[in-house]
Structure 1
Amino acid sequence: MNISGRLTQDATVSTTTTGKEVVNFSVAVNDGYKNKQGEWVDDTAFIDCAYWRSTKPVSWLKQGLYVELTGQISARAWQEDNGNLRAGMNFKTSVIKPAWGTASKIDSVQANNNQQNGNPVKEDEKDDLPF
């Protein structure tokens, strides 16, 4: 699944109780439509995202950056300290691409990750076009 939107704040790194680090961030996904009266209505969804592969992206995932994300939606449920049950959705991100702006910085991060994983970087994957 792919989504695109703007980061609502700078990304942060948190550590689980087992010591695994995760990059957390939220994106605002804008959509719109015309209602029956012909007026344009903006509809914005805020999506919490988690990136588990590396903490390196936290250095360039800054508020306002427009990103294209690939991943899958996961559901979570928990009980608050006061006993209230809560549920939420999270986008488990596997690929993060800026739609414009800091593409050269991200290309080098992706290239380093691919080389560390033994995956060669294909020439067409270095393209900074958003499509």
Structure 2
Amino acid sequence: MNIIGRVTADASVQTLSNDKTVVNFSVATNESYRNKQGEKIEQTTFFDCSYWLSAKAAKILTKGALVELTGRISARAWTGADGQAKASLNFHTSNIKLHHNGKKAETGQQPAKEQAAHENFAEDDIDDDMPF
């Protein structure tokens, strides 16, 4: 599955007890459509994402960056401390393609039209063992 969205905050790298590292980040996707009354409806979906293949990916996963992710999705449900039911969508990322860096846009620098992917992190590019 592929999703395209903006990173909501700078990614964080976590080292686990087995010395494996994981990059955690969140992505927001937007969809718009018109309802039966002709009103435009905007819908935003947030995904909690993980990337196990290289901690270097955290360098490009900065707030506002437009990324295309390939991977698989899972849902998680739990009961919060307040007793309310909670749920989240988790995206287990296997490939990251950077389309546009949000920080450059904030400074007024526009990337070249054909410079869509600054970096492309894929499962095939990493020699590390898989964490599972």
TM normalised by structure 1 equals 0.70
Tell me which amino acid in the other structure corresponds to 1:3: I
- Pick closer, same or farther for the CA change 1:55–1:40 going to 2, 3 Å: same
Counterpart Cα distance in 2 of 1:85 and 1:31? 25
Equivalent in the alignment of 1:55 = 55
Secondary structure (helix, strand or coil) at the match of 2:19 reads: coil
Matched, 1:34 2:72: no
1:39 is displaced (CA, Å) by: 1.2
Tell me which amino acid in the other structure corresponds to 1:103: A
Consecutive unaligned residues of structure 2, counting only runs of 5 or more, are 102-115, 128-132
1:100 is displaced (CA, Å) by: 3.4
Counterpart Cα distance in 2 of 1:55 and 1:63? 17
1:60 is displaced (CA, Å) by: 1.5
Identity of aligned residues (%): 50
Tell me which amino acid in the other structure corresponds to 1:40: K
Secondary structure (helix, strand or coil) at the match of 2:100 reads: coil
Equivalent in the alignment of 1:67 = 67
- Pick closer, same or farther for the CA change 1:31–1:92 going to 2, 3 Å: same
8 A Cα contact 2:49 2:90, kept in partner: yes
Tell me which amino acid in the other structure corresponds to 2:57: P
Equivalent in the alignment of 2:111 = none
Consecutive unaligned residues of structure 1, counting only runs of 5 or more, are 118-131
One of 107, 117, 122 as aligned partner of 1:103: 117
TM normalised by structure 2 equals 0.69
CA RMSD of aligned residues (A): 2.8
Tell me which amino acid in the other structure corresponds to 1:21: T
In the comparison of the two structures, how many residue pairs are matched?
A: 112
1:86 is displaced (CA, Å) by: 5.8
- Pick closer, same or farther for the CA change 1:44–1:80 going to 2, 3 Å: closer
Secondary structure (helix, strand or coil) at the match of 2:9 reads: coil
- Pick closer, same or farther for the CA change 1:42–1:86 going to 2, 3 Å: closer
8 A Cα contact 2:2 2:69, kept in partner: yes
**Structure 1 or 2: larger helix share?**
1
Tell me which amino acid in the other structure corresponds to 2:38: G
1:26 is displaced (CA, Å) by: 0.5
Counterpart Cα distance in 1 of 2:94 and 2:70? 6
